[in-house]
């Protein structure tokens, strides 16, 4: 299971330049739409539209990181969205413009979430705060709640 370490950033252009200087390779850019459903504290259930496909994603907070419990492609997203909306209720919908980079064994993304802010997400087996330090991002910028709670 992959984990995510998320941090709020103030200057995404500067962070992108620093990532490239550290050897990160730009892989792609995507516009994603997330539909979040009401869940208990520390748990996330969302439908994520990305790359022309929809995924049902379940995430749990563990300490200052998030563990991706499941991320499964959905054949009939409108049907599932209606079922989940009826069962849990829709909490919010967010639009995310993101750029993806590869560095060592991690995927790093710079995310501009409409109405929420700019974030760096480090995804891997055990993302550490070491990259944050190299980018000049203070550990106090780490986000320990889901984007739908910001």
Q: Mind giving me the DSSP string for 101-112?
A: EEETTEEEEEEE
The 10s digit of each residue's pLDDT in 32-91 is 999 999 999 999 999 999 988 999 999 999 988 999 999 999 999 999 999 999 999 999
| pLDDT value of residue 2 | 86
Q: What are phi and psi of 144, to 5 degrees?
A: -115, 15
| pLDDT value of residue 7 | 97
The pTM assigned to this predicted structure is: 0.91
Distance CA 120, CA 128 (A): 13
* CATH number of the 3-149 domain: 2.40.320.10
Contact at 8 Å (CB) between 45 and 88? yes
Evaluated on CA atoms 121, 125, 129, 132, the torsion sign reads: negative
Q: Which residues of 25-62 are buried (b: 16+ CB within 10 A; e: fewer)?
A: eeeeeeebebbbbebeeeebbbbbbeeeebbbbebebe
| pLDDT value of residue 51 | 85
Task: Check pLDDT > 80 for residue 1.
Answer: no
CB atoms under 10 Å from CB of 109, counted, come to 21
The 10s digit of each residue's pLDDT in 138-147 is 999 999 999 9
| pLDDT value of residue 75 | 95
CB atoms under 10 Å from CB of 103, counted, come to 16
pLDDT averaged over every residue in the chain: 95
Q: Give the single-character DSSP code of 149.
A: G
Give CA 82 to chain center in angstroms: 23
**Tokens describing residue 2:** 């992959």
Residue 128 confidence class, pLDDT cut points 50, 70, 90: confident
| pLDDT value of residue 127 | 92
The 10s digit of each residue's pLDDT in 89-127 is 999 999 999 999 999 999 999 999 999 999 999 999 999
């Amino acid at each position: 299971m992959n984990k995510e370490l998320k941090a709020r950033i103030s200057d995404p252009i500067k962070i992108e330049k620093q990532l490239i200087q550290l050897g990160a390779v730009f892989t792609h850019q995507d516009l994603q739409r997330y539909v979040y459903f009401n869940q208990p504290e520390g748990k996330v259930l969302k439908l994520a539209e990305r790359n022309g496909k929809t995924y049902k994603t379940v995430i749990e907070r563990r300490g200052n990181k998030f563990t991706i419990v499941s991320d499964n492609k959905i054949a009939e997203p409108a049907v599932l969205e209606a079922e989940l909306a009826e069962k849990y209720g829709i909490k919010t919908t967010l639009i995310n413009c993101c750029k993806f980079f590869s560095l060592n064994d991690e995927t790093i993304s710079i995310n501009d979430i409409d109405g929420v802010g700019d974030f760096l997400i480090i995804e891997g087996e055990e993302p550490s705060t070491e990259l944050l330090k190299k980018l000049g991002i203070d550990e106090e910028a780490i986000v320990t709640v889901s984007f739908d709670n910001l």
